[in-house]
Amino acid sequence: MPNLSPSTLDVVALVTFLAVLIGYGYVTAIGSLERRSIVRAVQRQRERWMQNMAVRDMRMVDAQLLGGLSQGNAFFASTSAIIIGGLTTLLGWGDKVQVLLERLPFVASSSATLFEIKLLLLIAIFAFSFFKFAWAFRLSHYAAIMIGATPIFGSGNEHQCQQHAKKTADIIGLAAGHANTGLRGYYYAIAAMAWFLDPAALLVATGWVLAILIRRDFFSRSRRLMAED
């Protein structure tokens, strides 16, 4: 392996991190992979849930379940906003924070500009997560409206009810997709924090987070249980 200078290693680590951050979502959305993921397994269960909802007269339980899910999105959206505020404050005190961090063992020294780039990377990740969670929260409201608009099940409108239930499940799936992407941002942020230690630590943390995501999306016990009929 060639002997990389610290500045070169920083660039390599950052490019690798961004490639994983951007590429993972696109790769896992490929048809053959997506069908084997926990995302598809959960979506099939949502469709069953909405199909059952469509034939019930009382749908308050369904609305309550959806409300509970949407509250999680609101929590993470507000948490992301708080984190962004804290990181922005650190950005204003960059010199002092950098001095304090570099006193810790295993923390590599870096220029003030590079330190600010590390902070900006974290801010960008949490800002992205904020918008994802906020939109997921909004989509949950749309899904609740769709549940309320579901026709009363009867002998003459079975097909209409089933079609409406499918659309409602798709809306909930969209909300879950945005929330899932926002949650991945938290995983990536943990990896990005390793950059404050050393660029090599960022490479290791990126690989570690990627392995966790792959396992949970495709090889976890929860995926097997959700995929069972």
Asked whether residue 210 is assigned to any structural domain, the reply reads yes
Q: Which residue in the block uniquely carries the two structure tokens 């939109």?
A: 135
Average pLDDT, the chain: 89
Asked whether residue 226 is assigned to any structural domain, the reply reads no
Contact yes or no for 207/215 (Cβ under 8 A)? no
Asked whether residue 112 is assigned to any structural domain, the reply reads yes
pLDDT on residue 229: 66
Mapping DSSP onto H, E and C, the string for 116-179 reads HHHHHHHHHHHHHHHHHHHHHHHHHHHHHHHHHCCCCCCCCCHHHHHHHHHHHHHHHHHHHHHH
pLDDT on residue 48: 93
Q: What is the largest CA-CA distance in the chain?
A: 74
Residue 118: is it exposed, middle or buried by C-beta count within 10 angstroms (0-12/13-18/19+)? buried
**Domain assignment of residue 111, given as a range:** 6-220
Confidence band (pLDDT; 50, 70, 90) for 156? Answer: confident
Average pLDDT over residues 19-43: 91
pLDDT on residue 2: 45
Collapsing DSSP to helix, strand or coil, 79 comes out as helix
For the chain, what is the domain count?
Answer: 1
Phi and psi torsions of 178, nearest 5°: -65, -40
Asked whether residue 229 is assigned to any structural domain, the reply reads no
Q: Where are the alpha helices (DSSP H) in 1-111?
A: 6-28, 31-34, 38-54, 60-92, 94-102
pLDDT digits (tens, 9 = 90+) for 50-85: 999 998 888 888 888 888 889 999 999 999 999 999
pLDDT on residue 5: 47
Quote the DSSP letter at residue 37.
S
